[in-house]
Amino acid sequence: MNIQLMTDGGADLPKDLLDRYNVHFIPLNIHFGDEQFLGGVDIDSPTFYDKMRQAEELPRTSAPSPYAFYEAYKAVDPEKPILMIALSKELSTTYENALLAKEMLLEEEPERKIEVINSRSATSGMTLLVDEAGKRIEEGYTIEQLTDHMNERVSKLATLILLRTVENLMKSGRLSRFKGAIAKTLNIKILMHGSPEGTIEVTEKVRGNKKAVRRFVEQIGEYSKDFENKVIAMSYSTAEDKAKNLLQEMKDRYPFKESVLVEMGPLIATHAGEGGFVISFFKD
């Protein structure tokens, strides 16, 4: 491919997509107390979830350092432009660190072409953007054309989230123990979405699993009416079989051209908890 595609640990990418587009991946750091791991490198999903269940406090995640990005950029052939799709600026310092690394390398090698995109998203939203960028690179887009196109695509991205437990929100302090206890007693499920600015916001609170899932599916039709040429990406936290069934239900109702299913990485799973789902697609 004539452009090197990169992303960070905020994205959740299936292996076939990583391989198809030769995506270079810069992992986030995961901290369990004094222990530190590189997400997707030296801690796998079963180990991550086991440690999270046993911990009284949630793990922390931190952005890759500017030097980690610098090393990744520098390893690429200087003649090859780079497109870096970064985790939402509103969720992490990852984007700023990727930009700082770009400036560091350009001071040494000013002829380099490096573009950093603020995805204003995470997990399946970034999956969708990486897939979109890879397809356009295969079509022969220049780095300038690709950058313009991807910034436009970011503005059209819809990301919807369904949380089936409030345990992790309580542990993180994003939901008080009192409100969390009420939510559990009343079996309240939380629906969220990614804002245009790249934050994550609560949109609805629905009582009962079936009602929450039904509303989760219904929302898709409120964002788009044309699905024949679109891709839907879903990430899930531990509940693979339920995710497959839910994705099939969505495809039966809305005729998406393609779908991507991937396990949720530590960044979002830390806050979503087990059984959470995130879907992304492009709006009309």
In a domain, 196, yes or no: yes
CATH assignment of the domain containing 105: 3.40.50.10440
Dump pLDDT digits (tens) for 244-283: 999 999 999 999 999 999 998 877 777 767 788 999 999 9
CA neighbor of 40 nearest in space, from 61, 56, 25: 25
pTM, entire model: 0.91
Dump pLDDT digits (tens) for 198-240: 988 888 888 888 998 999 999 999 999 999 999 999 999 888 9
Q: What is the reported pLDDT for 107?
A: 97
d(CA 258, CA 20): 16
238 shares a domain with 138:
no
Dump pLDDT digits (tens) for 82-107: 999 999 999 899 999 999 999 999 99
Specify the number of domains making up the chain: 2
d(CA 23, CA 8): 10
The b-or-e profile of 82-109 (16+ CB within 10 A means b, else e) is bbbbbbbbbbbebbebbbbbbeebeeee
**Would you say 113 and 143 are in contact if contact means Cβ atoms under 8 Å apart?**
yes
Residue 165 banded pLDDT, cuts 50, 70, 90: low
Sheet with 4-8, strands from edge to edge, namely 24-26, 4-8, 82-86, 114-118
Dump pLDDT digits (tens) for 119-141: 999 999 999 999 999 999 999 99
In a domain, 45, yes or no: no
